[in-house]
């Protein structure tokens, strides 16, 4: 899941090392149900993960503490392409 990848990059750990696991904060399957290809671009969900603020947008953008992470495809996350909003 791209949110996990974005948080792992922010925390400088592997996705498996995130503490607490994302599923203890928010149900990842619920996010997948909310954010579908037909979701409106202006849809936004924001939640806190430890001391970070995560924002997910309907167009697929993910931001952690205001830094946007742009996935390169549905299943792949580009670790090198980060830009601050």
Residue 9 or residue 70, greater confidence: 9
> Computed over its alpha carbons, how large is the radius of gyration of the chain?
12
Instruction: Strands of 1-85 (E only): list them.
Output: 44-49, 52-57, 62-64, 67-71, 77-84
Q: Please tell me the predicted confidence (pLDDT) of residue 78.
A: 38
| pLDDT bucket at 37, cuts 50 / 70 / 90 | confident
Q: Quick one: pLDDT band at residue 43, thresholds 50, 70, 90? A: very high
Task: State the pLDDT at residue 32.
Answer: 86
The H or E element spanning position 7 is helix 2-11
Between 33 and 72, residue with greater pLDDT: 33
Contacts of residue 72, defined as CB under 8 A and 6 or more positions apart, other chains included, come to 78, 81
Q: What is the pLDDT of residue 44?
A: 95
How far apart are the C-alpha atoms of 1 and 7, rounded to whole Å? 10
């Amino acid at each position: 899941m791209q949110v996990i990848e974005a948080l792992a990059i922010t925390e400088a750990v592997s996705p498996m090392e995130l503490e607490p696991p994302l599923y203890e904060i928010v149900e990842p399957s619920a996010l997948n149900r909310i954010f579908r290809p037909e979701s409106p671009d202006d849809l936004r969900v924001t939640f806190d993960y430890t001391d970070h603020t995560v924002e997910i947008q309907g167009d697929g953008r993910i931001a952690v503490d205001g830094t946007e992470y742009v996935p390169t495809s549905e299943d792949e996350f580009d670790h090198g392409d980060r830009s601050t909003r």
